[in-house]
Amino acid sequence: MAKKNVEQADNLQELESALTKTEQFIEDNSKIISYAIGGVIVVVALYLGFNKFYLQPKEDEAISQMFMAENYFAKDSFNLAINGDGNYLGFLDIIDDYGITKSANRAKYYTGISYLYMGDYEAALDYLNDFKTDDLLLAPVAEGAKGDAFLELGESDKALKQYKKAYAVTDNELTTPVYMMKAANLLESMDELENALALYEEIKEKYPTSTEGTNADRYIARIKTKLN
């Protein structure tokens, strides 16, 4: 019992010693600690102020300015969408003038898709590669569009890689079977028949109600005929 009391006393003494050292450290470095805390407060205040008084107004302005370009894009007027019409800004202007906004990032997607439709596949890849998103529908479409660009440039291996990335990035009924089908078609054209067959069968099994799923049987039959 006495031994236990001694140990408790020793522990209390060590704790008191540690607290004293901590208090002494705080006292000796009070100015540095105050500056550090003040610095954190200033950084947080600047960040909040930047977002509220600069970035958000810039974002709102970009959204307003990009309206007509999006309208042209929806009407397949891709040149006007990219370059503007003299009265309204195009996507390239949005990228240049509002570079740090979400709208400018989205404009890179629109620009890449526009160039793809216009046949400028290198430019399409440049802008699509700069576009960043975690949107569950937009992300696979962007990756798949890169695949389309590579395919038009005759780079089948890169196109296949992008199609695989497009259907792997997210699993949904809208985009996944589309890019699985593109990958399967490409594999078939590359004479990788067994891999193509496996993909066609997977589409039929997993997405039977999709357009690709309902058409899968004829592709499967065609491959089996080739293999026989």
Q: What is the pLDDT of residue 59?
A: 86
Q: What is the pLDDT of residue 98?
A: 93
Nearest to 147 by CA among 186, 106, 119, 176: 186
Residue type, 176: T
Between the CA of residue 99 and those of 10, 37, 131, 221, what are the distances in Å?
63, 32, 12, 50
- From first to last of the 228 residues of the chain, give the pLDDT tens digit: 444 444 555 555 665 565 566 556 556 666 664 555 555 554 444 434 434 434 576 788 889 999 999 999 999 999 999 999 999 999 999 999 997 899 999 999 999 999 999 999 999 999 999 999 999 999 999 999 999 999 999 999 999 999 999 999 999 999 999 999 999 999 999 999 999 999 999 999 999 999 999 999 999 999 999 898
Distance, CA of 103 to CA of 158 (rounded, Å): 29
Residue spans of alpha helices (H) in 88-228:
91-97, 102-118, 121-130, 138-152, 156-168, 176-189, 193-206, 211-227
Q: What is the pLDDT of residue 45?
A: 45
Other beta carbons within 10 Å of 51: 11
Tell me the fold of 133-228: 1.25.40
Q: Is the pTM of this model over 0.85?
A: no
Domain ranges of the chain: 133-228
CA torsion through residues 72, 74, 79, 84, sign: positive
CB 111 within 8 A of CB 127: yes
Distance, CA of 85 to CA of 89 (rounded, Å): 7
Q: CB under 8 Å to 174, separation ≥6 — which residues?
A: 137
Q: What is the pLDDT of residue 178?
A: 98
Q: What is the pLDDT of residue 7?
A: 52
Q: What is the pLDDT of residue 43?
A: 47
3-state secondary structure of 181: helix
